[in-house]
Amino acid sequence: MTGKPDLLPGTLDMLILKTLARAPMHGYGIALSIKRFSDDVLTVEEGSLYPALQRLLVQGWVKGEWKTTETGRRARYYTLTAAGRKQLNIELTQFDRMITAIGRVLRDPQEA
Amino acid sequence: MFGRLWRKFALLFGRGRFRSELDEEMAFHRAQMEAELVEDGVSRDEARYAARRRFGNATRLREQSHDAIGFRFETVLQDLRFAMRQLRRSPGFAITAVVILALGMGVSVAIFGFVDKALLEPLPYAQPNRLLDVTENSAGWPRANLSRADYEDWKRENTTLSSLDAYGGEGYLLRMGSTTEPVPAARVSDGFFSTLGVKPMLGRGFLPGEDQPGKPKIVILSYGTWLTRFGGRRDVIGQSVGLSGDSYTIVGVLPRSFEFAPRRDSEFWVPLLDKNSCEQRRSCHNLYGIGRLRDGVSIEAARADMKRIAAQLAAQYPASNKGQGAAVQPLYELIVGDVRPILLTLLSGTALLFLIASVNVASLLLVRSESRRREIAVRGALGATPARLIRQFVTEGILLAAAGCAGGLMFGGWLMELLSRLVPKPMLSHLPFLGDVTMNTHVLLFAVAIVLFAAVLLAFTPVLRLTGMDLQDALGEGGRTSAGRFWQRLGANLVVVEISIAVVLLAGAGLIGRSFYNLLHVETGFDTSHLATVNVMAPNSDYSKNNQLVALYREIDRRLSALPGVQAVGLATDLPLQCNCDTDWIRIEGKPFHGEHNEVNSRDVSPGYLAALKAKLVRGRMLTGQDDASHPHVIVINEALAKKYFPGEDPIGKRLGSGDLAPDSMRTIVGVIANVREGGLDQDVWPSEYEAIYRTSDTEFSIAVRTAQDEKAILPSIDSTLRGIDPNLGIYGEQTMQQQMDSSEAALLHQFAAWLVGGFAAMALVLGVVGLYGVVAYSVSRRTREIGVRMALGAQRSAVYSLVMRQACWLTVTGLAIGMVCSIGASELMRKLLFGVAAWDVPTLASVVFVLGCASIAASFLPARRAASVNPTDALRAE
């Protein structure tokens, strides 16, 4: 786990929301999905995943439903709500603006 | 927004489900990770461990999840529950702490209740802060009465007051049915009640002009008088009542809430009406003024205005008004000015006591935090953040303070009731509202403020301690040396504070106590024991002529002297120890005179009076039965007068008289007596002259009876003898001289203060000594092992004693020294309360040092003995 970059602060909620935008998923699935999509670069610490999920639940951006998995165990599947989708858009826009801004700062002037 | 709140509430109430769901979810997570690892070829057992490791501390995770969604106050509740459990587990500590806090807080709250009533609550009048006490003044009299002529001029001439009114005390003989009784009353000007903003509850007030000479005699009743003497009947309006032989028509009854402290006892309120003999002269001062400031006018402007008029009058009437100025102060100042130093002293005393109580509990908490170091370390290791740990201590501190506050409020309420009953009568008659001090908003706000103070102190003392602690150090068995020293220093400093405060309070109590003693043992110039006194009012109508009165005096003298056990009888216009009042302006024949007012007490006395008091004759002779209107006018003076007006001369044979040396005012000095204290116990001795009452005659006079046995027992027979002489005499104030001294205002106020401050000091002494004991005992228990080693290496028991005692002595001496300096400062501040004793009174301070020193040595001797009796082998094996 060492040597991997930490998540940018404040991006975890966005990543979870985005992941859930693709399909409803349980906690483990979310962690796995983020890991796979990032080619193993981003690892969501379990220690932050569950508090984050609770936060999103309280905000009303996701909702949880207990379902049975393929292996026959009960798991809580999280689904994005309409409010969550709206929030995701807001966060994406903000994030884009941030990345562009950082990019501008990092770009050398003669290349511009 | 509402949805979120709702979801939070749902979670709050479904906490059990929340937790089990989260657990299941996390268990599922772990199982999946495990399965994945197994797929990767890891053995099943290893996979489980790896998954657990990766997952981390499940409890902490759960708490974090909970934090993310729970309410803040949930953790507060947790802390609170934990704090209660902690306190329950050590009830000794909890009870001690709460009791100490409740005591400190209760006393503070109760005393504050009085201060609030006396100093913060407004007077029961309309816009009371616009009311002024308006009087004349002169050299030696910062507040002198106002003469009626001057009052009328001031009222007419002033431009700063919307109204100026006058009042004066008066006594009447009330005749109801066949009984005659002297009653206290007041004469007031027409606008008196409207200036105060008081309306009668029945009937009407005085109308403008109704106070002028020759107007009909009318009277307004006090509520209490109406109730007790007139049965509370509403038809009293229009009825007449006989006062000193005149018939007055009742026009009104004052409301129950009406209080006028300067004339509180008055049962009847009569308009000024006809000018009495005093009021016919501009130089005779018998009234006081109350004024109401015009809107937008400052008190300074009013004072300047009155001074201007006074100066104008002095120029116009130099004989009577030379040197007569004006004194203007808020009415409020007149009423509470006297008790303010006492109340402020008491309040400061309680503040110190409360401080000492809080410090004491804080140092108890410190000891506890020391013994809880491991608990704290364990909680830290289990993941409690420093903030959370600090919050725990803050919660405990607040809990203690709150419990102490609850106890304190109850105790304070009880104490208020108790103190209200203990308030000395003269103080009560001066400040009637002190009789019904209760919990009100002010008091509650004050209680909240001091609780906050205590909570902050209690919460942050251990926190201060906590921040200096290293986690690993604390977890281990060691770590006691460095942290131990830190604690010792903080705890020791607190003890020094406690001891210093105890010194201040003890010294204060000692000084006030000595003042009280001095007051009761002040040189009076006469024998106060075996002296019965009574006041008499003879009806003017029956005794209008001088010879009638002289016959009455002689008859009283003869009949009372014949009573068994009576040694001497004396009559005088004023008894000693009353007041420097009833004064006269004198001019010495043959001395330079520029119209100054040489003010002296003037007493008309019977021939036997000075002898009955056992006043000492210094030169010449006393007055005799021959000194009446048919003989030359002679007087006896006191040494103060002789010293002031005849320095280095023999006054016998000298003559003095009024300012213009009118022939009929001239009198010859025939004797000088040692000073008899005419004024109050705490007042200066004034020059006084004693004239023969047989010459002057007064219908109001007092009798002093010197007895062989118990003077109290003779009071009833004096009473019945006087009634036997004339049933129409008004007789009141029967008491012994000793009773009069003990109940004098100065004595009672000092007694009240001495008792209370003494009580505070006793509590402070106990708390301070207990604090010292705690620190020393604690440090001994920490050093048991060290002591064991020392003893194993051959240290003598005496060496162990000195080891412990040295620390205790050092703390005590430091505390005493600091306290001494502070107490001299504090005593300077309360100098107004001190009488005949300096702020740095050596015997008082020495006894304080002695008492505290002994108590401290006793307190530290116990732990020292325990230390010295340590068995080295046990001590070394103990850990």
| Chain A residues closer than 8 Å to B10 by CB | none
Is the Cα torsion angle B729, B734, B740, B744 positive or negative in sign? negative
The reported pLDDT for the residue numbered B204 is: 92
Cβ contact (<8 Å) for A47 and B22?
Answer: no
Q: Is the pLDDT of residue B861 over 90?
A: no
* Sign of torsion over alpha carbons B368, B369, B370, B373: positive
How confident is the model over A84-112, as a mean pLDDT? 84
Q: Identify the pLDDT of residue A9.
A: 66
Contact A73 B64 (CB under 8 A): no
B3 contacts on A by Cβ (under 8 Å): 60
Q: Is the pLDDT of residue B705 over 90?
A: yes
The pLDDT score that the predictor gives to residue A106 is: 87
Residue A4 has pLDDT above 60, yes or no: no
pLDDT in tens, B116-130: 887 777 778 888 889
Strand, coil or helix: B732: strand
Q: Name the residue of chain A whose CA is nearest to B6's CA.
A: A58
| pLDDT for the residue B572 | 93
Interface of B with A in 49-78 (CB under 8 A): 54-56, 60-61, 64-69
Least Cα separation, residue B766 to chain A (angstroms): 53
Q: Which residues of A touch B (CB under 8 A)?
A: 1, 26-28, 31, 45-47, 50-55, 57-60, 66, 71, 73-76
Question: Residue B291: is its pLDDT beyond 90?
Answer: yes
**Are the C-beta atoms of B284 and B599 separated by less than 8 Å?**
no
Kindly tell me if the per-residue pLDDT of A1 is higher than 60: no
- Looking at the predicted structure, is the pLDDT value of residue A40 above 50? yes
Q: Measure the CA–CA gap between A38 and A22, rounded to whole angstroms.
A: 15
pLDDT at position A110 over 70: no
Which of chain A's residues have a Cβ under 8 Å away from the Cβ of B17? Answer: none
Strand partners, B206: none
Q: Is the pLDDT of residue B387 over 80?
A: no
Q: What are phi and psi of B793, to 5 degrees?
A: -85, 5
Ramachandran region, residue B127 (left: φ > 0; alpha: ψ -120 to 50; beta: rest): left
What average pLDDT does range B642-664 have in this prediction?
90
CA distances to B362, B395, B415, B512, B517 from B754, rounded to whole Å, are 29, 39, 17, 5, 10
Query: Is residue B518 over pLDDT 70?
Result: yes
B220 - beta bridge partners?
B252, B269
Which of A26, A45, A54 comes nearest B65 by C-beta? A54
Whether A58 and B28 lie within 8 Å, measured CB to CB: no
Nearest partner of B766 among B458, B353, B418, judged by Cα? B353
Residues 6+ apart with CB under 8 A from A112: none
Q: Note the pLDDT of residue B858.
A: 87
Put simply, the answer to whether A46 touches B3 (Cβ < 8 Å) is: no
Optimal mutation site among A34, A35, A58, interface B, most CBs of chain B within 10 A: A58
> What pLDDT sits at residue B691?
92
Give the pLDDT confidence score for residue B67 in this predicted structure: 63
Looking at the predicted structure, is the pLDDT value of residue B542 above 50? yes
Residues 6 or more apart whose CB falls under 8 angstroms from that of B837 comprise B511, B514, B515, B518, B844
Q: First and final CA of chain A: distance in angstroms?
A: 38
- B31 CB neighbours in chain A (<8 A) are 73
Higher model confidence: residue B337 or residue B511?
A: B511
Closest CA to B750 of B685, B684, B681, B686: B681
Confidence class of residue B617 from pLDDT cuts 50, 70 and 90?
A: very high
**Percent of chain B residues topping a pLDDT of 90:** 25
Q: How far is CA B541 from the centre of its chain?
A: 45
pLDDT tens profile B453-487: 888 888 877 777 666 555 445 554 444 444 455 55
Q: Which of A46, A52, A74 sits opposite B55 (nearest CB)?
A: A46
* B32 contacts in chain A (CB < 8 Å): 28
On whether ipTM exceeds 0.90, the answer is no
B91-95, B311-315, B777-781: which has the minimum mean pLDDT? B777-781
Distance from CA of A96 to the nearest CA of B (A): 27
Instruction: Tell me which chain A residue has its CA closest to the CA of residue B30.
Output: A28
Residue from B268, B738, B296, B301 nearest B521 by CA: B738
B198-212 average pLDDT score: 91
CB contact under 8 A, A76 and B25: yes
The reported pLDDT for the residue numbered B466 is 62
Contact A27 B69 (CB under 8 A): no
Q: How confident is the model at residue B10 (pLDDT cuts 50, 70, 90)?
A: low
d(CA B446, CA B113): 9
**Coil, strand or helix at B131:** strand
Answer yes or no: do B28 and A27 touch at CB < 8 A.
yes
- Asked if residue B637 lies in contact with residue B689, where contact means CB atoms within 8 angstroms, the answer is yes
Tell me what pLDDT residue B251 has: 94
State how far Cα B859 lies from the chain centre.
33
- For chain A, percent of residues with pLDDT exceeding 90: 5
**Cα B661 from Cα A101, distance rounded (Å):** 107
How far apart CA A104 and CA A96 sit, in angstroms, is 12
Per-residue pLDDT, B392: 79
pLDDT digits (tens, 9 = 90+) for B769-815: 887 787 777 777 777 778 888 888 888 888 888 888 888 888 889 99
Average pLDDT over residues B863-879: 75
* Average pLDDT of chain B, as a whole number: 84
Q: How far is A59 from chain B (nearest CA, A)?
A: 6
Mutate to test the interface with B, among A26, A33, A46, A81 (most CBs of B within 10 A): A46
- Tell which wins on pLDDT, B73 or B697: B697
Q: Residue B531: what pLDDT? A: 93
> What is the distance between the alpha carbons of residues B764 and B770, in angstroms, rounded to a whole number?
10
Q: What is the pLDDT, as a whole number, of residue B23? A: 79
Higher pLDDT, B420 or B525: B525
Label residue B558 by pLDDT band (50, 70, 90): very high
Q: Which residues in chain A are closer than 8 Å to B64, comparing Cβ atoms?
A: 47, 50-51
Phi, psi of B282 (to 5 degrees): -70, -25
- The contacts of residue B700 (CB under 8 Å, 6+ apart) are B171, B535, B536, B537, B538, B573
Distance from CA of A92 to the nearest CA of B (A): 22
For residue A65, pLDDT beyond 70: yes
| The predicted structure's pLDDT at residue B432 | 63
Q: Confidence class of residue A70 from pLDDT cuts 50, 70 and 90? A: confident
Q: Write out the two tokens for B140.
A: 């030696």
Residue B857 confidence class, pLDDT cut points 50, 70, 90: confident
More confident residue, B558 or B21: B558
Tell me the pLDDT tens digit for each residue of B230-271: 988 889 999 999 888 889 999 999 998 888 888 878 899 999
pLDDT at B859 over 80: yes
Q: Give the integer Cα–Cα distance in Å for B74 and B388.
A: 13
Tens of pLDDT, residues B397-453: 888 888 888 899 899 889 888 887 777 666 666 566 666 777 788 888 988 888 888
Using an 8 Å CB-CB cutoff, list chain A residues near B28: 26-28, 73-75
Residues B806-829: tens digit of each pLDDT: 888 888 899 999 999 998 888 888
Mind telling me how many Å the CA of B471 is from chain A's nearest CA? 24
Report DSSP letters for B560-629, one per residue.
HHTSTTEEEEEEESS-TTS-S-SEEEEEETTS---S--EEEEEEEE-TTHHHHHTPPEEEE----TT-ST
Cβ-Cβ contacts under 8 Å between A and B: the total is 66
- Has residue A38 got a pLDDT over 50? yes
Q: What is the pLDDT of residue B70?
A: 57
Instruction: Kindly indicate the confidence band of residue B115, based on its pLDDT and cuts at 50, 70 and 90.
Output: confident
* Closest C-alpha to B342, from B829, B696, B685, B668: B829
Q: What pLDDT is attached to residue B305?
A: 92
Instruction: Identify the three-state secondary structure at position B209.
Output: coil
Lowest mean pLDDT among A62-71, A87-96, B658-667: A62-71
Per-residue pLDDT of B711-758, as tens digits, reads 889 999 999 999 899 888 888 888 999 888 887 777 777 888 888 888
